[in-house]
Amino acid sequence: MTQAKLIDGNAFSATLRDGIAARVHEIRDAHRIVPGLAVVLVGEDPASQVYVRNKHKRTVECGMNSFEHKLPAETGEAELLNLIKGLNDDPAVHGILVQLPLPGHMDAQKVIEAIRPDKDVDGFHPWNVGKLAAGGEGLIPCTPLGSMMLLRDWICVQSGGSLAGLKAVVVGRSNIVGKPMAHLLIRESCTVTVAHSRTRDLPAEVRAADIVVAAVGQPEMLRGDWIRPGATVIDVGINRIALPDGKTRLVGDVRFDEAVQVAGAITPVPGGVGPMTIACLLRNTLTACARLHRLDIPEARPWA
């Protein structure tokens, strides 16, 4: 049995970050501008704390300024909105990210809409959502952007093929991944199906697809016999499961040991889409900085 090619997100994201770091140094030397990313964390969610720590480390590594704002869980919504207003007006801040989920007493949508769209490096503000749907120069959510970069590299660069006309299924319809991913695939002229928890005969929908993007948040839900032989599988899931010996393990939304026997290429978990998300956050921060300062660098142009 042939094994699928493994799509190495660690290697791809390292190359992407190196390119971003080089550009950051270039614009610092040429313009005395240092891109700055502000990350806001409300509360003590352990997973969010890990994400925020990693974002800070990677931001500093590529030469950008990192501004961390950690607020207690009981912070009032008005206080958070006030902090965002300050970051909107701060010329040293080019990207703003409010880590989700927020505590239950806050209206996440209201908070997202308080962020200046041109500093919204998550791409969650309705202005950016609309730009992605209608085409144009908005900021694109990081996980779908990273997934699309891996997909294009495998299908277009390494395999010499084209995405146009391929059948893609996106399993999951979240605002963070599923919906923006579907828009990116449509832009590439794929024929796109968005499947979700109410889809009838999900295995049949997945079996019809040349490209499978799994973003349901259900550990190992997609089985190997759902995958069309030779398909490209992008597994966005990051699920921590308990093992019988009391330890834990990270798994995706796809049953990897089965799918790897059938697929043409597959992203592993960990080491697939995960590291691309932070790399794309840095790229979006660079993009936002370049646009705010009207620098003509490739990262300022619409992601084609």
What is the contact surface with ligand GUN in residues (CB under 6 A)?
A: 97-100, 122, 142-143, 176
Do 196 and 151 contact (CB within 8 A), yes or no? Answer: no
Neighbours of 66 (CB within 10 A): 17
CB of 263 to ligand GUN, least distance (A): 25
CB of 78 to ligand GUN, least distance (A): 20
Peptide bond into 229 cis (omega under 30): no
- Those residues whose C-beta lies under 8 Å from the C-beta of residue 104, and which sit 6 or more positions away, are none
Of 59 and 143, nearer to ligand GUN (C-beta) is 143
Catalytic residue among 118, 119, 120, 122: 122
As a whole number of angstroms, the distance between CA 304 and CA 288 comes to 16
Do 91 and 121 contact (CB within 8 A), yes or no? Answer: no
Of 68 and 258, nearer to ligand GUN (C-beta) is 68
Is 55 among the catalytic positions? yes
Supply φ then ψ for residue 195, to 5 degrees: -105, 160
CB of 122 to ligand GUN, least distance (A): 5
As a whole number of angstroms, the distance between CA 70 and CA 49 comes to 10
CB of 191 to ligand GUN, least distance (A): 27
- Those residues whose C-beta lies under 8 Å from the C-beta of residue 86, and which sit 6 or more positions away, are none
Is 70 among the catalytic positions? no
Of 102 and 222, nearer to ligand GUN (C-beta) is 102
Catalytic residue among 99, 118, 119, 120: 99
Of 97 and 289, nearer to ligand GUN (C-beta) is 97
CB of 114 to ligand GUN, least distance (A): 13
Q: Tokens representing 234?
A: 């992008």
Of 129 and 260, nearer to ligand GUN (C-beta) is 129
Strand 232-235 with 167-171, pairing = unpaired
CB of 177 to ligand GUN, least distance (A): 8
Catalytic residue among 55, 119, 131, 179: 55
Of 88 and 261, nearer to ligand GUN (C-beta) is 88
- The residue whose Cβ lies closest to ligand GUN is 100
Residue ranges of E strands in 179-295: 191-195, 211-214, 232-235, 239-242, 248-251, 265-266
Supply φ then ψ for residue 232, to 5 degrees: -100, 125
As a whole number of angstroms, the distance between CA 150 and CA 160 comes to 14
Do 34 and 285 contact (CB within 8 A), yes or no? Answer: no
Q: Tokens representing 84?
A: 């965002």
Do 217 and 253 contact (CB within 8 A), yes or no? Answer: yes
Q: Which residues are catalytic?
A: 55, 99, 122
